[in-house]
Amino acid sequence: MSAAPVLAIRSSAAATALPFTSPWLLAPMEGVTEPSFRDLVLARNAPHELGGAFTEFVRVVERAIPVWKMREHLGARRFAQPVGVQLMGNDLDALGETARNAVEAGAPLVDVNFGCPAKGALRGCAGSALLDDPARLEGVVRAVRDAVPTVPVTAKIRAGGVDASRIEELARAAEAGGACLLTVHCRTRAELYQDEVDWQRIARAVAAVRIPVCGNGSVLAHADLERMRRETGAAYAMVGRAALGDPWVFAPRRASRAEAARFLLEYVETLVGMGASPRGAAGRAKQLLRFWTAGELLGAPGESAERERVRWLREDDPARLVAWLRERAELADRAGADA
């Protein structure tokens, strides 16, 4: 296993020390990075591989979200790596109180979302809507920062709204508001999740601010993490969808077929244990299967990986999906024992 890359982080006067254990971070993803998935990823990656994670965004509208709800988002398990709570909203008082509640619930850092392109966020003038109003974005960061002076406050932006022409202004607004790390998802709001990305936008943000920047957008494989840092000067790199298909993407080693099957099995069992129906849990596993690349899990004899993926995505019976995963885990175990 190769040594962990050295963190090259420039400090700013206002920065509270960042608690990440490596420069590679798991992106916040609504409907996915809840404790059920996040903990499985954290448990499989050493602190020198995966440096930290975030909750999915917690939407704050008018009223603060209570401490018990924040505890739910953080989950019961703790790891060496920090899990930040991500907030999204525009009501300064409610955001501030929610941030305090998050810290009371145990959050080691609070992140603010300025990237969500969903209609709900735009209607509430939150998430990526604030990319059109850097002064307001700065005010939101400051309100959260002032509310929780004892923990680092970070911000996550897209490269812009309709285009990336204001990326420097947006980065400086987040810094002026008191963010001690800025994550830049290099697509604009208008670009949604298009395949094509321009990492040079991340480099522009790096050049515009003194706080560390975390680059994000189309890191597809482990080697891309270091490449993103090299090509942009970002101190950190964040992985979104590639981690849904390969939860080991933060480490240089490839997972085995048995490990891959066990991950999905454990995910289904965890969800059912938390009260999901077998169908609901299988649906969540399929959400990962859509992206799945780890462990050469897909690809039965005589069938391509893509054909098998489509077949399992169409499978209606949760019991058959679970039986397939069990079989893959056991077959791979047996092959390992025979070798």
Q: Catalytic: 116? A: yes
Binding stretches for ligand FMN (CB under 6 A): 27-32, 56-57, 86, 113, 115-116, 156, 185, 216-219, 239-242
Please state the closest distance from residue 339 (CB atom) to ligand FMN, in A: 35
Those residues with Cβ within 8 angstroms of residue 310's Cβ, 6 or more apart along the chain or in another chain: none
Please state the closest distance from residue 103 (CB atom) to ligand FMN, in A: 19
Q: Which of 309, 333, 283 is nearest to 36 (CA)?
A: 283
Instruction: Give dist(CA 51, CA 49) in Å, integer.
Output: 6
Query: Measured from the CB atom, is 156 or 201 closer to ligand FMN?
Result: 156
Instruction: Give dist(CA 56, CA 38) in Å, integer.
Output: 10
Please state the closest distance from residue 328 (CB atom) to ligand FMN, in A: 25
Query: Measured from the CB atom, is 28 or 177 closer to ligand FMN?
Result: 28
Please state the closest distance from residue 326 (CB atom) to ligand FMN, in A: 27
Catalytic site residue from 116, 180, 186, 214: 116
Instruction: Give dist(CA 91, CA 112) in Å, integer.
Output: 12
Instruction: Give dist(CA 172, CA 181) in Å, integer.
Output: 11
Query: Measured from the CB atom, is 180 or 249 closer to ligand FMN?
Result: 249
Query: Measured from the CB atom, is 57 or 250 closer to ligand FMN?
Result: 57
Query: Measured from the CB atom, is 101 or 216 closer to ligand FMN?
Result: 216
DSSP type of residue 129: G
Please state the closest distance from residue 54 (CB atom) to ligand FMN, in A: 7
Angle (deg, nearest 10), helices 318-338 and 278-289: 60
Q: Which H, E and C letters describe 193-205, residue by residue?
A: CCCCCCCHHHHHH
DSSP 327-339: HHHHHHHHHHHH-
Residue nearest to ligand FMN (CB): 240
Which tokens in the block code for residue 270? Answer: 């965890």
Cβ atoms < 10 Å from Cβ of 210: 12
Q: Which positions are annotated as active-site residues?
A: 116
